[in-house]
Amino acid sequence: MSTLMLAPTLDYTLAELPSVNLEQLNDAASLLSRVDRKYVIPVAQLNTISELIPQHACALEIDGQRRFGYVTTYYDTADLLSYRMSAHGQRRRFKVRSRRYESGERWIEVKTRAGRGRTDKDRLLTDGYPAEWVTRTLHRRGLNLDGNQFLPGLRVRFNRSTLLLPDDEQAARLTIDTDLCWELLGYTWKTSSIAIVETKTEGPLSSFDVAMFSTGHRPDRISKYATGLAWLRRELGANRWHRTLSRYFLTEGLTEDSDITAEQLSAEAA
């Protein structure tokens, strides 16, 4: 876990919130079918965000920690079907990814886009890549695709704080992702200058979204996978993420060497 502070006031706010454990969080707001709203916030402005966190919010705490490292590896076909569906804004699209937590747990997740901006997420705790499960899950979600055709590609690392929001009429979460790092064979882009703040709700705006809207913030068009891939592979074009890339993604932190190796990626699919 990174020792960098989010921002002094926000760190203090998160530390002062009541805690919730993972079981309590999932019981209250598992949100495997949800609507996501993402905001790209310069880290220098995160202190103002702390003022918008609702009273009675609770912070996820595990083993005394409230900020956790995530490593996510995205899978796609050789011709980048998942990326292209997102780039062209297709109503029915998907992502396949593995996510490794600081605890050592590794989950395979299939995220599919349903109607009216809803996202459905299926996940399986596993150490390998379960191609048959991926195939069955995609078929159940209406996508006739073979899980064997997916290969690991882009890797994203970040640190996350998670809050349970006290919305009376719906389950709601808030996540704050910082210390973002995108890794692709040959390229790495690291940034500590932006954060991705995201709400996950059953549909309507959360109390935090309402507060963000009232202060002039609106959700940004960003996908950790698709936007990051478009940034590292310029030949793909900016597509739907032109505004986000031009506004928030800077050449600082972009290097033509990467810590990730082909062997490591191959191990993800083992």
Burial environment of residue 270 by CB neighbours within 10 A (0 to 12, 13 to 18, 19 or more): exposed
What distance lies between CA 107 and its chain's CA centroid?
14
Overall average pLDDT of the 178-195 stretch:
93
Alpha helices in 68-110 (DSSP H): 81-87
pLDDT tens profile 58-97: 999 999 999 999 999 999 999 999 999 999 988 889 999 9
What's the length of the chain?
270
Amino acid found at 262: A
Q: What is the pLDDT of residue 6?
A: 60
For domain 8-268, the CATH architecture is: Beta Barrel (2.40)
Q: What is the pLDDT of residue 7?
A: 64
Q: What is the pLDDT of residue 228?
A: 96
pLDDT tens profile 7-21: 667 888 899 999 999
Q: What is the dihedral of CA 181, 224, 207, 117, to 10 degrees?
A: 180
Percent of the chain with pLDDT over 70: 96
CA distance 102 to 86: 29
Record the pTM.
Answer: 0.93
